[in-house]
Amino acid sequence: MDKDVLVHEMTERFQELYVQALAALEDAPDGEWISGSEHAFRDAFGQLLMESYEAALKNKVEQHPTADQAAFSPSGQSARLRNKGSHPVSILTACGTVDLHRRYFWSKATGGLYPVDELLGIDEDRVSAGAAELCTLMGTLQGFDKSRWALEKTAGLRVSKERLRQITEREADRVERLRKNGELAPNWTAGQVAQTPHTPSRVYVGADGVMVRTVTQEEKQKRRKNQAIRRQQRGRSGLGNHKPLPPFRLGTDQTFKEMKVGIFYDQSKCHVHAFATEQNSEGFGVLLKSHADQLQLQDADEKISLSDGGPWIRNQFLEHLKYLDAMLLDFYHLSGHIWETARCCLGQGQEAETWASDQLSEIKNVGARSVIDAIDTLATRFRAQAKRDSLRKLKQYIIQRWEMVEYPAALARGWDIGSGPTEAMCKNLTLRLKRTGMKWDQDHAAGMMNLIALQESGQWDQYWKARARRAG
């Protein structure tokens, strides 16, 4: 079709839809001019957008040489491919679902292919990069059923709950793989975060574990059994599904499983980079090093880990980030232990409050030695085993993390001693996972967390630009 003819046809269609929208405005009663017409205009021009895009794509496909059998001769093919006719395809795009026909070519030696699919940039799922971004963005905000509804309301895209889930999980897998392999560059590097030309570049590293409700093996087996029964019932009524069930996915051995989160951030908290994984501590450590290398963490003037006292976190820092300048224990985790001991030994009154406040002040401004002495002094007052055990455990907790409680030196250098950004990131990454009634496969939970981490790390636009270039 000639381009001028296409423009003329779509102009006529525009006039038709515009008249319909104007009628809605004319019919709107006083006081409802906007509310009575805004959806009509939005729907009309949404329809025009989809039809215009579909018509333009159809025209380009028809004009391409693959539409003509004689013109198509793939290079390097020993056997000439035969034109086997035109086949339909529906593609979900950011402009809506478009329906096209494209030529199918086949030979015994090479099999079949749709040459124009590669030119269109569509994959086996028939979802464009723009549509995948909209679906994924909505899918990270709330449950897939509500996300499906919101996607139709806001962007005019109609997808089922299941397809939305599949699109989101597929993109999550891609994101996780690209970030793990360093194929998606971080939004910043350690050498770029100095607040002024005269201050050092300073980067903090945090880590923590968060619990997520998962689908257990028992629940998986029950679901599988019920699904097979439903298929049998549909088969008896003539509505059977002859496709085989998808491969069985193993469930977890416990209802809750730990997800591990890593975060890097600068002093201003303007530069943030986060990731998540369902792997064990050793797997987390490998990812930690990978992301640290991508950020060129070793080039920062000051590199400080700041986390709770979990042994697995400390061990992974020691193994994979040997060049850290300091490892600090989150002050608020330590204060929780001190307050717990004070209340165990001295009750809920003023004496416990005074003792705990004094020790926190001492360890922050003087050092841990005086706190150890205070613990020993307090222990002489009690014979009750529970109180003596509480004091002993607090003393042991501090001694085992001796190099992590050097707060006076840290504060003198202007370093943070609280891991608030890490705690906040853990909360942000799991809000989507902890909605009422939600359960997850571990890898899907990690994938959803990494999609949100992509946003938190400022890599969202970068990923989707690269995704569009790699489409198909």
Which DSSP string corresponds to 344-398?
Answer: HHHTTSHHHHHHHHHHHHHHHHT-HHHHHHHHHHHHTT---HHHHHHHHHHHHHH
Q: pLDDT tens track of the chain, all 472 residues? A: 688 899 999 999 999 999 999 999 999 999 999 999 999 999 999 999 999 999 999 988 888 776 554 444 455 454 577 888 888 999 999 999 999 988 888 888 778 888 888 888 877 779 999 999 999 999 999 999 999 999 999 999 999 999 999 999 999 999 999 998 889 999 999 999 987 788 899 999 999 999 999 999 998 888 888 877 777 777 666 666 656 677 778 889 999 999 999 999 999 999 999 999 999 999 999 999 999 999 999 999 999 999 998 999 999 999 999 999 999 999 999 999 999 999 999 999 999 999 999 999 999 999 999 999 999 999 999 999 999 999 999 999 999 999 999 999 999 999 999 999 999 999 999 999 998 889 999 999 999 999 999 999 999 999 999 988 765 4
Contact 331, 422 (CB under 8 A): no
- State the pLDDT at residue 386: 95
d(CA 147, CA 138): 6
- State the pLDDT at residue 230: 76
Q: How many CB atoms lie within 10 A of CB 260?
A: 26
- State the pLDDT at residue 32: 92
- State the pLDDT at residue 226: 84
- State the pLDDT at residue 470: 65
Number of helical (H) and strand (E) elements in the chain, helices listed first: 17, 8
- State the pLDDT at residue 265: 98
CATH code of the region 190-216+251-329+418-456: 3.30.420.10
What stretch of H or E contains 98?
Answer: strand 96-107
d(CA 218, CA 129): 37
d(CA 160, CA 298): 46
pTM over cut 0.75? yes
d(CA 212, CA 215): 10
Contact 421, 273 (CB under 8 A): no
Q: How far lies 396's CA from each of 174, 330, 368, in Å? A: 44, 17, 12
- State the pLDDT at residue 472: 43
Q: Output b/e per residue, 169-196; b: 16+ Cβ within 10 A.
A: bbbbebbbebbbeeebebbbbbeebbee
Domain boundary assignment for the chain: 1-63, 64-69+78-187+457-472, 190-216+251-329+418-456, 331-412
| Residue 215, token pair as written in the block | 């689908």
What stretch of H or E contains 82?
Answer: strand 82-93
d(CA 25, CA 31): 12
| Residue 261, token pair as written in the block | 């989160």
